[in-house]
Amino acid sequence: MGESEQFGQSWALVFAAALSGRSGRAPADADIDKALERMVESIKGGAIGSMIPFDRHGQVLMLSGG
């Protein structure tokens, strides 16, 4: 929680996802940027099935459509 507070934004939950590299190398910065853009668009569209939501206390949240 402390790290996120340095940006001055209040938040209620955070989504986590994984991004693999290739041939034993970490993903390139451009690949990371593209993946983050896709992640944001997925969240905006409600497609969160491939991500894990956490609350401010680090607890996994179970979200349901409604």
In a domain, 30, yes or no: yes
Q: Give me the residue label for tokens 């349901």.
A: 64
Confidence at residue 11, expressed as pLDDT on a 0 to 100 scale: 84
Domain count, the chain: 1
DSSP 16-51: E-----BTTBPPPHHHHHHHHHHHHHHHHTT--TTS
Under the banding of pLDDT at 50, 70 and 90, the label for residue 60 is very high
pLDDT, residue 51, reads 93
The residue among 40 and 63 whose pLDDT is bigger is: 40
Query: Quick check: is 43 in a domain?
Result: yes
User: CA 10, 29, 49: angle at the middle one, nearest 5?
Assistant: 55
- What secondary structure letter does DSSP report for 14? E
In tens, the pLDDT along 1-57 reads 567 677 777 888 999 999 999 999 999 999 999 999 999 999 999 999 999 999 989
Per-residue pLDDT tens over the stretch 27-40: 999 999 999 999 99
The reply to whether 62 falls in a domain is: no
- What is the rounded CA–CA span in Å between residue 20 and residue 25? 9
Domain that holds residue 45: 2-55
